[in-house]
Each structure stands twice: as structure tokens, then as C-alpha cells.
Amino acid sequence: MSVYITLFPIAMTFEREKHDLYPQEKDKTKLEQFENQFEELKAAGMKLARAVANLDPDERYAPTPPSVHAVGGFVRDMMIGVKAKDMDVEVYGVDPSVLKEMLEKLFGRVDTVGEAFGILKVRVGHGLDLDVSIPRRESKSGQGHKGFLVGSDPSLDVREAALRRDFTMNSMTYDLVTGVIFDPFGGLEDLKKRELRVTDAARFQDDPLRVLRAAQFVSRFELVVEPASFELMKKMVTRGDLNELPAERVYEEWRKMFLKSDRPSIGIELLRSLGAVEKHFPELNALIGVEQEKDWHPEGDVWRHTMMVTDQAAKIIKSRGGGIIERGERDCYAWRALSRLWQTSHNRSIWWQDSIAWA
């Protein structure tokens, strides 16, 4: 297992503004509010971690000691110098009933969400949530996003718990007390190479939504998919795995791609190269090869033109209002961008004069 010890975020080539709806410096009031929210969220995680560290080891879960690890996107963002807006933590070596009682004493009300996955949500203030869970195993038992057998197991070690995560960059964990980064699958190195790599091929295929997650991740962080991972996702698309996805889950990944990236076109191009555009988004596939008047559109066909439009829309979403847009307004912009894609595909041509006037 690769282990990295860090006292501060590792400096990398990512630019903060390119990968997060982070307030721009000119908006001092909202910037300070965001900083305070982040610190409050981190303090809540540390509060829980210290309380857990003071527990006596439970013999039933030996040799796993009581500990709290930040997981997933929080660790990934920390490693590229981005301050996350939420935190997921996993608690090792602690009985679930003991954990829930501890959370109630520390924070008051605790909500159970995702009953099958045993996630405990703690309200931290300013609308922030700390999502707490026991390490778990997941296995596919049927079709759909609910077709999983889930088993929480406090005795799991960090590596085994991380196997279920989609990509190596999301498989790192951070011990909130010791400051140790556990990176069992080389996620940090993949981030440095700007490469998106599947953590475990067998488990990855359990949830076809991960193909769409790949699209929004490559857009947000401007990554290239590792060849074996690309072939795996292409295989999933070809055999029709994405057919079982409900519309609301598909929409949510598209929404993230528009709201959290500067260049959504990168993810859409990935879906095209995987065969997903042709198979699942015929409205977009209809744009490919549709010629335009070269005097007005030297960039190429309608597909290329539309990819440029989506990137312009993303820039507007990020820049409007000093970099901070309320969720309702951002959703409106995302819907406009998606609507533009569909409008263009049905018309099979572009009439408008100003490339961003519609937004």
C-alpha cells in the first residue's frame, strides 16, 4: 500500500478557478463566507475524529483500530489545492450503534439517508452536511441503481474499502487525526499525469452511471482516460449497460458537467468516442457531419460548433456574478445549455448571429 504523509495540500498544476465554483477574489464578502464554511466543515470532521480516536479498540473488529478517514472527492480536491464544499468520512473499527450515539452527542440531530448504504448525515451549519458512514462492501444483485447488496463492516481495512470506488483519484483517504494519506491504487500519480483510471474493473461495471461520471470528471479536471479504462467503458456502452439508468441520474451527471467544468465538450467528446452519443443521445448524434457555410462557420460542422457553444455557456456560468451564482440560477443556465443542444440537433442548422447571445 502506498502511503503519503502530508501536512498541507500537495502543490499541483491545477488552477483553482478551473475546477470549482470558487468565489473570485473581488467578491470579498462571499469569499470570506466560503472560507468560513470550509473551516466549519473541517472542524466538524476533526471533532468526530478526535472523539473516535479516544475510544477503546473493539475486539470484534481487530486489528482495525477506531479511526475516521475523509474519503472521495474531499481528499482528491485537497490534493489539488481546492477547498471542498462537503465532506464524506468513513469510520473504522466502531460499532454502528455506538457511532450514531456519538454523533447525536456531538452534533445533535442525525439523519439517516440512503438506508441501504447506512449513511448518517450531520448538519454542520450554513447548510453544510457531514456525511458519515461505516466502510462497506457492495455487490451487484439486480438491474438498476438500487440493485446492490450492501454490507457494512467496521473491520475492513482502507484498501479493501477503497476497492468499491470508481476511479483511483477518488480512492484516496485521509486520516483526520494523523494526517496520513492512504493511496492504495496510485490515485495521486494519476492526478499528476492528468489520467483517469478505473480502480477495480469488476466493481466498476456494477454501476453503469460511472461511464457518465467519467465524462463529467474529464471535463472538470481536463483529464485523459487511461486506455484499459477506456476500453472497459466502451464495452459497457456496447453491451447496453447504460440502458438501465433512470433519467434523473443521467441528468444529474450532465448537470455537473455543465456547472463544474470550463469545457463540457471534453466529456461530451468522450461519450462520442465511447459510442454513447450514437447509442443513447440520437439528438446529439444528428449534429455530426452536418455542414455549415464555411464563410460564417470556419470551425467545422454543427457538432464542432455546438461543442464550442457549450464551452462558452460554461464560462458564462462560472464568470457571472463574480464567480458565484445561486443554485437556481446555475440550474437555469445548465438547462439553457442542454436545451440549446437539443434545439440545434432538431433544427440541423444554426441560425443565430451571436454565439452566446442565447445565454
Q: Could you list the mean pLDDT of each consecutive 10-residue stretch along the chain, which spans 359 residues?
A: 43 44 48 70 93 95 94 92 87 94 93 72 82 79 54 88 95 94 96 97 95 96 97 97 93 90 94 96 86 72 87 78 48 57 46 33
Q: List Cβ neighbours of 286 (8 Å cut-off, separation of 6 or more).
A: 345, 346, 348
What is the pLDDT, as a whole number, of residue 346?
A: 45
Q: Are 152 and 134 in contact (CB under 8 A)?
A: yes
Q: How many helices (H) and strands (E) does the chain have?
A: 14, 12
What is the pLDDT, as a whole number, of residue 117?
A: 58
Whole-angstrom distance, CA of residue 264 vs CA of residue 311: 6
**CA torsion, points 28, 29, 33, 38, in degrees to nearest 10?**
0
**Amino acid at the residue 14:** F
Domain 1-193 is of which CATH architecture? Answer: 2-Layer Sandwich (3.30)
What is the pLDDT, as a whole number, of residue 268?
A: 95
What is the pLDDT, as a whole number, of residue 356?
A: 34
What is the pLDDT, as a whole number, of residue 45?
A: 94
What is the pLDDT, as a whole number, of residue 102?
A: 96
Q: Which residue has the cell 448504504?
A: 117
Q: Which regions of the chain does DSSP assign to beta strands (E)?
A: 3-5, 67-71, 87-92, 110-113, 119-125, 128-133, 136-140, 148-152, 173-175, 180-182, 195-196, 224-225
Q: Are 330 and 317 in contact (CB under 8 A)?
A: yes
What is the pLDDT, as a whole number, of residue 114?
A: 60
What is the pLDDT, as a whole number, of residue 21?
A: 40
Domain with CATH 3.30.460.10 in the chain: 1-193
Whole-angstrom distance, CA of residue 73 vs CA of residue 216: 13
Could you please report the per-residue DSSP string of 148-195? EEEEE-TT--HHHHHTTSSBGGGS-EEETTT-EEE-TT-HHHHHHTTE
pTM of the model: 0.80
Q: Are 170 and 186 in contact (CB under 8 A)?
A: no
What is the pLDDT, as a whole number, of residue 341?
A: 55
What is the pLDDT, as a whole number, of residue 8?
A: 39
